[in-house]
Amino acid sequence: MAWLFFAWMSVAGARAWATHAPPPPPDLTQRAGFDQRLGARVPRDVRFLDANGRPIDLRTLADGKPLLLALGYYRCPNLCDVVLNGMAHTLEGLDLMPGRDFEVAFVSIDPAETPADARHTQAMLARMDPKAHVPRWHFLSGDAASIGALASAVGFRYFYDENLHQYAHAAGLVAITPDGKVAQYFFGVSWPPASLRLALVHASQGELGNVIDRLVLLCCGYDPTTGRYSLAIGRTMQVLGVAFVLVLGGWLAWLKARARA
């Protein structure tokens, strides 16, 4: 898992300039990472605090729309800034609008962080990426029980490194359906806008997208090992075969009608 090693390196990287960086923990992949739980239900009724200190749950936050979820923490010295900027860069390239077509939530895994930390991060990211509509995103904090319940549901594993005094965690996004099921994962810190758009269309359960999106989803398969879409040859051949039969049937019907005229 190269992306998980990068996650640990980003945590240790700030100290590497001043001193010899410690080696990765031998059980890093057991203690930090993503366990893909496609179809699992997220706890939509657990309470968090938004950037203004108001309590909110994921059911209210999503408001019947697909949810794009990321976990990290606001005082993270390296990785989370990269994740947030990657999210902003990707969302800039979408024709879907946060807050209108889907919701975006960044949830802190550090129960010591507060709405003030969330407001600071949101304001800073909004200045850096004004085209990403960051004010429409949700920056949440919560207690250990709420954080643990959400992280466990989506398979997000993390731990506090006592040597570095920082959290070690993975990087990625989780697309969640309007009824609270895990639809897809995107790993790393950079994601193609087209793939993320397809994930949101798929997660919307028919509420977003157009006919072309539906055809693309029929012809492309989601690869859970990479978190990306790829051309599914077998499925494509099936779609083309059905289309050929329909066209041929229509053509024969037209010839038959013409012969009777």
How sure is the predictor about 31, in pLDDT bands with cuts at 50, 70 and 90? Answer: confident
| Closest by Cα among 187, 194, 193, 180 to 224 | 187
Q: Is the pLDDT of residue 6 over 50?
A: no
C-alpha to C-alpha distance for 159 and 8, rounded to whole angstroms:
11
pLDDT 10s digits, 207-228: 665 544 454 444 555 555 555 5
105: amino acid identity, one letter:
A
Q: Tell me how crowded residue 41 is: count the other CB atoms within 10 A of its CB.
A: 13
Q: Does residue 228 form part of some domain? A: no
How sure is the predictor about 11, in pLDDT bands with cuts at 50, 70 and 90? Answer: very low
Q: How many structural domains compose the chain? A: 1
| Whole-number average pLDDT of the chain | 80
Which residues neighbour 92 within 8 Å (Cβ) at sequence distance 6 or greater?
129, 131, 132
The residue assigned the tokens 């999210």 is 87
Q: Tell me how crowded residue 255 is: count the other CB atoms within 10 A of its CB.
A: 10
Mean pLDDT of 188-196: 86
| Closest by Cα among 77, 154, 68, 140 to 109 | 140
Q: Does residue 192 form part of some domain? A: yes
Mean pLDDT of 194-215: 71
Q: Does residue 231 form part of some domain? A: no
Domain containing 108 equals 2-209
The CATH number assigned to the domain holding 176 equals 3.40.30.10
Q: Does residue 215 form part of some domain? A: no
Q: Does residue 113 form part of some domain? A: yes
Q: Does residue 259 form part of some domain? A: no
pLDDT 10s digits, 108-145: 999 999 999 999 999 999 999 999 999 999 999 999 99
Q: Which residues sit opposite 98 in a β-bridge? A: 102
pLDDT at residue 232 in the model: 44
Q: Does residue 218 form part of some domain? A: no
pLDDT 10s digits, 43-62: 999 999 999 999 999 999 99
